[in-house]
Amino acid sequence: MIFRIVQLAVPFIWFGMVGIISFMEAPLKFRAPGITLPLGLGIGRIVFQTLNKIEIVLAATMLVSVYMQRPSAKATLYSLGVIVALLLIETVWLLPVLDARAEEVINGTAGPGTNAHIFYIAADAIKLILLLYLGITVSKEHLRSE
């Protein structure tokens, strides 16, 4: 029973965190009075590093719960697999690249821009859609089983 509750709750919690931080907090912080680009980037680095750690915990929680109580819908497993793959790409490639770029901007040594930020936004958008889909799929499956 606890694994079913985890499978119902985690996708929606995760969806909310990614949605609020990536698509609301990140762009809005630069509109606040007195926030300079280096200050905003410094805050962003801390926020996104923390979000990434929380996402890893949420992914691990979902993987354990799916292992312990396997959902019957294959779409649930596929969507979770893609979400975890996107998180791994963000963790091992995109975040380190973006962190280094932010450090260069803060230090005033930034060279030409990269597309890493666009890739990160796209990955988060896809992840967001899949998290919502995952939550809905698990919810429907749970309702059918009752």
**Domain enclosing residue 125, as ranges:** 2-145
pLDDT over 70, % of the chain: 99
Alpha carbon separation from 35 to 21, 27, 53, 69, 91 (Å, rounded): 17, 12, 25, 47, 27
For 15-58, how does the pLDDT look when each residue is reduced to its tens digit (9 = 90+)?
999 999 999 998 899 899 999 999 999 999 999 999 999 999 99
Q: Into how many domains does the chain fold? A: 1
Q: Are 4 and 140 in contact (CB under 8 A)?
A: no
Radius of gyration of the chain (CA): 17
